Amino acid sequence: MAVLRLGAMLRERRGRRGVREVAQEIGISPATLTRVEAGRLPDLETFQRICTWLKVDPAKILDIPVDVTSSDTSDEISTPVAAVHLRAEKTLPSGAASDLAHLIVVAHRELTRRARQRRTNVSSRL
């Protein structure tokens, strides 16, 4: 699934409902919803809200492989949102954008794992 498919996914899910109603439900402006439906890339916060509303993993939209062996999926929706603008950068070759996006996802997961491990280690000493 490509980022450009995001607008079509929004239009499909919105159906006959009004732009204002759906935008309010997502938590974005009607103008922003209209722009994204027309194919414009949203900012990171908007991308995350849209993915949450669509109930879709951002990694699928960004064509980033998801580690299916990961034991924790609680941050699945928020993990790769930082990568969305790499796909929009016209000066990056598509392979480089994919590689950088994957690197961001892997780094985020590792930092999250380390933070959880620290919390676990600290609480076990008390």
- pLDDT tens per residue, range 94-109: 677 667 777 777 777 7
Q: Hey, how many other C-beta atoms are within 10 angstroms of the C-beta on 103? A: 12
Is the per-residue pLDDT at 8 higher than 60?
yes
Distance CA 9, CA 90 (A): 23
Collapsing DSSP to helix, strand or coil, 64 comes out as: coil
The per-residue pLDDT for range 21-72, each reduced to its tens digit, is: 999 999 999 999 999 999 888 887 888 899 889 998 877 777 666 554 444 4
* pLDDT of amino acid 65: 62
The answer to whether residues 63 and 2 touch, using CB atoms and an 8 Å cutoff, is: yes
User: pLDDT class for 20, splitting at 50, 70, 90?
Assistant: very high
Contacts of 27 (CB under 8 A, 6+ apart): 49
* pLDDT of amino acid 79: 43
The answer to whether residues 42 and 61 touch, using CB atoms and an 8 Å cutoff, is: no
Q: Which of 27, 25, 22 is CA-nearest to residue 11? A: 22
* pLDDT of amino acid 73: 46
> What is the DSSP-derived secondary structure letter of residue 79?
G
The two three-digit tokens of residue 82, written as one number: 């930082």
pTM of the model: 0.55
Instruction: Give the pLDDT mean for 71-92.
Output: 53
Is the per-residue pLDDT at 2 higher than 60?
yes
For the packed helices 5-14 and 30-37, what is the interaxial angle rounded to 10 degrees?
Answer: 120
